[in-house]
């Protein structure tokens, strides 16, 4: 296998993982919203058992955004620093080995947050009495 093939697979799969993870966050928030109860004034309130899942899904979305913000800043800074040193646009450059670490860390956190969110949601539903086991 060529290195380019591995890199292309990584880009494709990590992009797809981010898309699926984002959809799972929104779906999780929608499921949490189903358990919101209205009071006499017409406002909605979430049961306390739904706060952890909701927080996990929102955390997943925040780290999804953070991953793209951090990557944009890092690669923009790298591009600008090489541009100032008069590198040509088609010239090969050496990037530091750690350049992708912040984005990978965000990816791990956002996927972990969704896993935590769904496990917490499962326990919240099972132990809320909403489902007979």
User: Within a domain: residue 133?
Assistant: no
User: Within a domain: residue 79?
Assistant: yes
Task: Report percent pLDDT > 70 for the chain.
Answer: 96
**What mean pLDDT comes out for the span 71-82?**
91
**pLDDT value of position 133:** 53
Number of domains in the chain: 1
User: Within a domain: residue 1?
Assistant: no
Which of 33, 80, 75, 23 lies closest to 54, judged by CA? Answer: 33
> Structural domain of residue 38, as residue ranges?
9-127
- pLDDT tens profile 78-131: 888 888 888 777 778 888 889 999 999 999 999 999 999 999 999 999 987 665
3-state helix, strand, coil in the chain (%, to 5): 75, 5, 20
pLDDT band for 37, please (50, 70, 90 cuts).
confident
Is 22's pLDDT higher than 60?
yes
User: Within a domain: residue 132?
Assistant: no
**pLDDT value of position 79:** 87
Q: What is the pTM of this model?
A: 0.86
Is 39's pLDDT higher than 80?
yes
User: Within a domain: residue 35?
Assistant: yes
User: Within a domain: residue 3?
Assistant: no
User: Within a domain: residue 34?
Assistant: yes
- Determine if residue 129 is left, alpha or beta; phi over 0 gives left, psi from -120 to 50 gives alpha, anything else beta: left
**pLDDT value of position 94:** 84
User: Within a domain: residue 101?
Assistant: yes
Quote the distance between the C-alpha of residue 96 and its chain's center. 24
Kindly report the average pLDDT of the chain as a whole number. Answer: 91
Q: Around 120, how many Cα atoms within 13 Å sit in the side-chain half-sphere? A: 19
Per the CB < 8 A criterion, the answer to whether 127 and 49 are in contact is yes
**pLDDT value of position 131:** 59
């Amino acid at each position: 296998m060529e290195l380019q093939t591995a890199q292309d697979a990584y880009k494709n799969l990590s992009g797809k993982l981010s898309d699926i993870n984002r959809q799972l966050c929104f779906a999780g928030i929608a499921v949490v919203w189903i358990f919101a109860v209205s009071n006499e004034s017409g406002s909605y309130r979430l049961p306390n058992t739904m706060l952890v899942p909701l927080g996990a899904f929102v955390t997943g979305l925040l780290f999804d955004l953070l991953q793209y913000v951090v990557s944009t800043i890092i690669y923009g800074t790298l591009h600008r620093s090489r541009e100032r040193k008069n590198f040509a646009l088609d010239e090969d450059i050496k990037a530091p080995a750690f350049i992708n670490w912040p984005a990978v860390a965000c990816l791990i956190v956002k996927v972990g947050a969704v896993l935590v969110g769904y496990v917490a949601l499962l326990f919240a539903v099972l132990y809320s009495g909403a489902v007979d086991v």
